[in-house]
Amino acid sequence: MEYGLIGEKLGHSFSKVIHEQLVSDYTYQLKEIAKEDIDAFMKAKDFKAINVTIPYKQTVIPYLDEIDESAKRIGAVNTIVNRDGKLIGYNTDYLGFAYTLRKHNISLQGKKVLIMGNGGASKAIQEVVHQANAKQVLIVDIIASKETMTLDEIYKKHRDCEIIIQTTPVGMSPQVDASPIDLDGFDKLEACVDVIYNPLRTSFLLEAKKYNIPCVNGLEMLVAQAKYAVEYFKDITIDDVHIESIYQELLLEQSNLVFIGMPSSGKTTIANEVCTKLKREVIDIDAQIVERIQMPIAKYFELHGEAAFREIETQVTKELANSHHVVISCGGGIVKNYENIKNLQHNGFLIYIDRDIDQLLSDPSRPLSSSKEAIQQLYDTRAPLYESYSDVTITNHDTLVVAVDQAIATYTNQITIINM
């Protein structure tokens, strides 16, 4: 191996894709190494340069001949360059996080900053925070120490934090429902950052979004730290524009395109056309429910009531919470339960398809939109929810071709909305 990433488990790493887009004529390998084999690997020095991930960021330090000053302060190394048999260690997590803060105009100077977690990722971030001259830095860990405190202490004394940085695995896929902190009462919050990038929006970030707090996930940091690593690997300079292009491409690759809106607004038809153009699978939530209940939805409403139907709807959205790269068409009432929306927002870019009332068709087979009057009442109730929960709104007042093109253009051009 000349260039690559070492770690104990690397199954879902994006590193190969990112690195090979940063430099041409460059092969980047993923190498899983068992703990009992790391000593022999490091002593052999059979590589030109490597990245290091869990659980070896501290393990590799005794094998190094030199360590960059910031990596020394952090106490962890994620980048090693072999210069004529001399191993030199760096920490580009530090540089990647600093880039993310700059990119999103998040200033820590003079701020009260709360860092969730005290592991390897946290150490690099703590260095960035201290270098940025934060007024006060609080670190939460499961067990309090001289350096850390418990979450209970934060709730009792420190709800005036202005920035929260989440560095723990809590909320990572597949356990997307979990969040490390309840943001209720944190009235001075200016920004929330989560180093997790799968899902794209953790429960922690979705709660911040509900409070209209700017929030950022860890995907941009991942791409940025890779860029800095390649600069060390190859002794070159790479323009930051490459960070943004790769980051946007990954967002599109990992995200779902989700359509919400009124019954007969065109969600299913548009979704089917979009999936063909984008070469993605389409998932129709109502169709999935019909397959489960083995009867028309109107009949199920009649026999079991709306509440029973909504329970099944929520089960389906929960199963979709960890999905990627699909197009999803939702039933009109999906917005009645915020849990549905949260499930879809984890990896979803939500587009509200708005349509004039007089273009929405009454349908006796639809239990809640069987007449014009029923449609008007539904629209008045649901339109504010569609607008609130969607990332963007498009209109479907013209032809199908226009609506489909608008949906695709909006998605591809505004995908970064998912991370702000």
Active site residues: 57
* Amino acid at position 287, single letter: A
Q: Is 117 annotated as a binding residue?
A: no
Is residue 160 part of an annotated ligand binding site? Answer: no
Q: Which residues contact 297 (CB under 8 A, 6 or more apart)?
A: 286, 289, 290, 309, 366, 367
What is the rounded distance in angstroms from the CA atom of residue 304 to the CA atom of residue 313? Answer: 14
SS3 175: coil
27 is in an annotated binding site: no
Q: Which of 237, 183, 192 is nearest to 214 (CA)?
A: 192
d(CA 54, CA 330): 38
310 marked as part of a ligand binding site: yes
- 3-class SS of residue 238: coil
Do the annotations mark residue 286 as ligand-binding?
A: yes
Is there a binding annotation on residue 366? yes
365: its two tokens? 């087979």
145, two tokens: 């120490």
> Is 266 assigned a ligand-binding role in the annotation?
yes
Q: Give start and end residues of each alpha helix (H) in 255-399.
A: 267-278, 285-293, 297-304, 306-320, 338-345, 372-389
73 annotated ligand binder: no
Name the packing angle between helices 306-320 and 285-293 (round to 10°).
Answer: 120
332 annotated among ligand-binding-site residues: yes
- Cα 265 to Cα 288: distance, rounded to the nearest angstrom: 19
Contact 2, 25 (CB under 8 A): no
What does the alpha-carbon distance between residue 58 and residue 77 come to, in Å, rounded to a whole number? Answer: 6
Binding site for substrate, by residue number, is: 286, 310, 332, 382
Binding site, by residue number, is: 264-269, 286, 310, 332, 366, 382
Binding site for ATP, by residue number, is: 264-269, 366
